């Protein structure tokens, strides 16, 4: 699915709200509502926004998803954004995390 600009959504919503001149609801207010809706969507349906990235697992069987801290970085040493839910393990990586291994069915 392609990208949709917030301004396009605001234009459509303004007609439904009978506020085409943005008298009652400013674009800033509509943006706050849109952002809040997107956050709620992801809380109820985490796979609505998925980020595929790799990171090195901890020793043992109990693992954690990224929490937005520097404790979780990818092979390029970039900090991973906070995760809500683990969706799927795609493949193992080599010891250094740079070489893709076999896919996991």
pLDDT digits (tens, 9 = 90+) for 17-66: 999 888 899 999 999 999 999 999 988 998 888 888 777 777 788 888 88
Q: Is residue 1 part of a domain?
A: no
User: How many domains in the chain?
Assistant: 2
Query: Domain check: are 28 and 68 in the same one?
Result: no
Query: Domain check: are 44 and 78 in the same one?
Result: no
pTM value is 0.64
Query: Which own/partner pairs from 27-34 qualify as long-range (CB within 8 Å, at least 24 positions apart)?
Result: 30/6, 31/6, 34/6, 34/9
pLDDT digits (tens, 9 = 90+) for 59-92: 788 888 888 877 787 777 788 888 888 888 887 7
Q: Is residue 92 part of a domain?
A: yes
pLDDT confidence of residue 63 = 82
Q: What is the distance between the alpha carbons of residues 81 and 67, in angstroms, rounded to a whole number?
A: 7
pLDDT band of 16, cuts 50, 70, 90: very high
Structure tokens given for 54:
């790799």
pLDDT confidence of residue 1 = 58
71-95 core/surface letters (b: 16 or more CB in 10 A; e: else)? ebbeeeeeebeebeeeeeeeeebee
Domain range for 18 is 6-48
Query: Domain check: are 56 and 95 in the same one?
Result: yes
């Amino acid at each position: 699915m392609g990208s949709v600009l917030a301004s396009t959504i605001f234009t459509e919503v303004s007609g439904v709200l009978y506020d085409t001149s943005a008298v009652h609801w400013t674009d800033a207010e509509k943006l706050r509502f849109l952002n809040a809706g997107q956050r709620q969507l992801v809380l109820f349906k985490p796979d609505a926004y998925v980020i595929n990235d790799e990171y090195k697992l901890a020793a043992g069987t109990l693992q954690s998803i990224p929490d937005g801290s520097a404790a979780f970085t990818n092979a390029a040493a970039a900090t991973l954004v906070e995760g809500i839910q683990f969706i799927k393990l795609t493949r193992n990586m080599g010891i250094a995390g740079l070489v893709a291994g076999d896919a996991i069915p």
